[in-house]
Amino acid sequence: MTEEFRDYAAVYDLLYAEKDYAAEAGFTLARAADVLGAPPARVLDLGCGTARHALAMAAAGAAVTGVERSAEMLAHARRNLAGAGAAAERVTLVPGDACGYRDGGRYDLVTLLFHVMSYQTADAEVRAALATARAHLAPGGALLFDYWHAPAVAADPPSLRVREAENAAIRVRRRSDPGRSADGLVRIAYRLEVCDKATGATREIAETHVMRPFTTDEIAGFCAEAGFAVVRQAEFLGDRAADASVFGVYALCRAV
């Protein structure tokens, strides 16, 4: 993940302005309460990006530590906190990698949201991220992450897409061109054009993001090895059974 979310970070929130972070945070906290018996008070959000999930969970009452390895994304997260009012007081942002972060604390819930787990493309990275989660949970603590579901990726492979967004200052056009290789990974070539409305000047951003789809059996195996019991795997937000029509699946786990 060394090249992702550099220049892209500057337009990330604009491109995902319509994403319902509050609904996703509410769903996550409610599912965690199924394991904990009460809403989580302390949350560790690994791969927190621009902190919009963290802020939404904080607005619901949790104290959240957000961990992010991209310096550019973390800078934008800090700007988001600056304008977030009371919820920002319950969010702590720290630089760190989901695969190696340790702060010695104990949390009720660990999250890796918006497909952070699918960015862990090697088995060693998956194991390391789960080890990070387990190190910050007492027995009975909850883990929730979402991921690309391999059967759905196989049934309806990601295709070329174009997304456009704008605000008062800039206009962005993003071209996403995914390709799947023999190793089962999906390599998405992003090409972005960012136009300054005042000057008409256009700059280009190019990044390639590599994603790993998983089967539910693979996730169950990794989680058991890391010291988790899988409580549920189902559609993120919808809770439908994780069949080949469900692209985004979440895993809810209990630390054992």
pTM score > 0.85 for this model?
yes
pLDDT tens for residues 201-252?
Answer: 999 999 999 999 999 999 999 999 999 999 999 999 999 999 999 999 999 9
pLDDT tens for residues 66-84?
Answer: 999 999 999 999 999 998 9
Mean local confidence (pLDDT), 125-150: 98
CB burial string 80-98: b at 16+ within 10 A, e below: bbeebeebbebbbbeebbb
Return the residue matching tokens 């934008």: 76
If you average pLDDT over every residue of the chain, what do you get?
A: 96
Is 127 in the same domain as 19?
yes
Using the 8-state DSSP alphabet, how is residue 159 labeled? -
Which pLDDT band, with edges at 50, 70 and 90, does 3 fall under?
Answer: low
Is 80 in the same domain as 65?
yes
The CATH code of the domain that includes 159 is: 2.20.130.10
pLDDT of residue 181: 82
Is 165 in the same domain as 119?
no
CA–CA separation, 176 vs 105, rounded Å? 39
Is 113 in the same domain as 169?
no
The CATH code of the domain that includes 117 is: 3.40.50.150
Q: Which domain holds residue 187?
A: 153-211
Which pLDDT band, with edges at 50, 70 and 90, does 5 fall under?
Answer: confident
